[in-house]
Structure 1
Amino acid sequence: MMKRNAIAFWGSAALFLAVVLLSTQLVRNEYWFFAGYVILQFIVLSVAWSILGGYAGYVNFGTSAFFGVGVYTAILLFKALGAPLLVQIAAAAAVGALLGFAVGLLTLRMQGIFFSIATIALTIVIETTVTNWRFLGGAAGIQIQRPPVTAPFPTYVQMLVFVQASLVVIAVAIARYIQNSWIGRGLQALRDDELAAECTGVPTLRLKMTACVISGALMCAAGAPAAMYLQYADPGSAFNLNYSVSVLAMALIGGTAHWIGPVIGAILLGVTQQLLAVTISSEVNVLVLGVMLVLFVVGAPEGIIGLFRRGRRAEAKP
């Protein structure tokens, strides 16, 4: 059964990437790629957040810190060495893993609100450091000149969409593996009762460190292409706390009990935000995000996945 599920997953992933690649050859309206990139980016961030915030139960408000570090790692490598995009993403993932390990050492012995506050402080510290780093543009920001696009993509943004789609596959594959492995079972045990998990021999600290490292690497990798996407970056936008709030809401609304939950939540809210930005105003996004989050926290704390499972249980009853 597990082997069959794995074959089905990788077959679906290959089909997804093939559709994205085909769309870059057939669709000529650039808006769809600009909007699609943002949605795919949020899927990666939401899935990455869920590895620590959902599986382990450690609510992380530091998404914007990891995202911003990914952005500026890519800028640093491009400006100093002219590194290609794939090298930028790989380096950002490595830096994110190291940052996640450091954050884990400093904060994972904290629990509850204290851990969440510490992750917010991390964002402020890193943003202040980058703001005073003149080589990276400082507070004024920095303009980025894109290199020539690589075949077979007609435009650079279309290439970025395919790259971000590949990151989605990688992030979901990792989250799926963790959920179905002993790591996921251990994280679930410490989320339910950390003290009881330790008493039964679950290596809770090692598992939390692993979740923090993987989550940080994926978040930084998702942020690395953002500078090329916008051709500009500044600390205020790269480290914007809206990333932390949006990603948390997407994961919770979709449901963190299963790897598909953050994907559903990111698609639902991402598409809604893009539609609102075009039809009404981007400022309405925050209002809609807040209303949906409150509704789901009060009415469906387990998210869309929880509603689906509740409906199946109701149908199964005679």
Structure 2
Amino acid sequence: MPSGSKVLKLAAVALLAVAVLAFPSIAPNPYILSAGVLVVYYAVLATSWNFVGGFTGYISLGHGALAGLGAYSTGILVAKAGLPPFLALAAAGAFVGLLAVPIGLAALRVRGASFVIVSISLVLILLLVFQSWSSVTGGSRGLVVPRPFQLTRPEHHRIFYFLFAGLLALAVLAWWLIDRSRFGLGLKSIREDEDKAEALGTATYAYKLIVFVVSAVFTALAGGLYALWFGDLDPVFQFSILTGSYLVLMALLGGVRQLFGPVVGALIVGIALEFFKVEYGDTPLHLVATGLLLALVVLFMPDGVLPAIADLIKRFGRSDRTSIREVSAAELREQRLQNAGGTK
């Protein structure tokens, strides 16, 4: 028989799945539906980031660049080479995965703040390249990507919502399988103490490189799907450091060591971002609000929302056990009084 905690977890997962699948049917208008597509897109990116951040503890702010590479690779193959959209998407994922090997070989040689700086450098370099290479990328004018489906706007959003949800399910499944594998155990040993793991015989460099490539492929597929959905790519937006910062915030908020932590974080941050943009437009105020949210997470929930909820449940459980001990003590006192009365 499964334990109560396992039943609770399965019920929560089932409830989340039902909510995700039911959302397109209950969305009141196309704008809310498009916002839902963006939130699921962020969930895929945050989960993809968590392959590196959650397993190895390496904080990358450069994953926005990998998403941008996936988006532009897909867009160029469709708009310039004339490939079918989803064949171009698969080719873009494979291309970014191959490109992630030399990037990882260079970036993963350093740790800590140095790795963060290297990841930021990747974003800035690719921004300059894609802005300057206007004959292929469209430069600052952007790149228009033909839509794969000739449908009304609500139906277009609905189809891509489910495509992003399917990709999210694959990413979560891959993370779950790695988490329970010997490979995942090696990755977590790197997170806890990389020097000690290497001294004990773990091929730390190879492990980091493999999981970085896996992360890059999922990130690129998410970026490619975004290109097919949105249909208009801008280098300034695609290669933005803010994107990487949002992913870190989402994963930290939900809990980097939790399977659904990045998904929960993406729901909270994605909805907050859309709300702030509606309320404050394109002013920097939405960035201030996002920064305050990050500060609150670091101050009050450093391990994330899901671990904080688990701690609350455990705390309530401890309080229940305390009340049992108090009742038992009262019963013992009553018994002693009865025994004392009987001896008189």
SS in structure 2 opposite 1:54? helix
Q: Distance in 2 between matches of 1:113 and 1:272?
A: 28
Aligned residues: 313
Tell me by how many angstroms 1:8 deviates. 8.7
Tell me by how many angstroms 1:234 deviates. 1.8
Structure 1, unaligned stretches of length 5 or more?
none
Corresponding residue to 1:19 among 18, 22, 25:
22
Tell me by how many angstroms 1:12 deviates. 7.5
Name the aligned partner's letter for residue 314 of structure 2: R
Distance 1:279 1:185, change over 3 A: same
Q: Which residue of 1 aligns with 2:286?
A: 285
Q: Which residue of 2 aligns with 1:137?
A: 138
SS in structure 2 opposite 1:224? helix
> Is the 1:96–1:219 contact (alpha carbons within 8 Å) kept by the matching residues of 2?
no
1:117 paired with 2:120, answer no
TM-score normalised by L of structure 1: 0.89
User: What RMSD in Å do the two structures reach over aligned CA positions?
Assistant: 2.7
Q: Which residue of 2 aligns with 1:307?
A: 308
TM-score normalised by L of structure 2: 0.82
Q: Which residue of 1 aligns with 2:251?
A: 251
Tell me by how many angstroms 1:18 deviates. 5.0
Tell me by how many angstroms 1:307 deviates. 0.9
> Is the 1:276–1:282 contact (alpha carbons within 8 Å) kept by the matching residues of 2?
no
Tell me by how many angstroms 1:96 deviates. 2.4
Q: Distance in 2 between matches of 1:12 and 1:184?
A: 27
Q: Distance in 2 between matches of 1:302 and 1:210?
A: 26
Q: Distance in 2 between matches of 1:171 and 1:9?
A: 18
Q: Distance in 2 between matches of 1:247 and 1:179?
A: 20
Identity %: 28
Where does structure 1 differ by over 4 angstroms across 4 or more consecutive aligned residues? Answer: 7-18
SS in structure 2 opposite 1:193? helix
1:233 paired with 2:233, answer yes
Counting only pairs closer than 5 Å after superposition, residues 264-279 of structure 1 correspond to structure 2 as: 264-279=264-279
Tell me by how many angstroms 1:98 deviates. 1.6
Q: Distance in 2 between matches of 1:68 and 1:158?
A: 23
Q: Deviations over 1:141-166 (max 9, x none)?
A: 12233244379x96323222221111
Q: Deviations over 1:89-138 (max 9, x none)?
A: 21222122123222211111211011111111111112222122212212
Q: Deviations over 1:60-85 (max 9, x none)?
A: 01011101101100111101332233
Q: Distance in 2 between matches of 1:187 and 1:208?
A: 7
Q: Distance in 2 between matches of 1:216 and 1:246?
A: 17
Structure 2, unaligned stretches of length 5 or more?
323-344
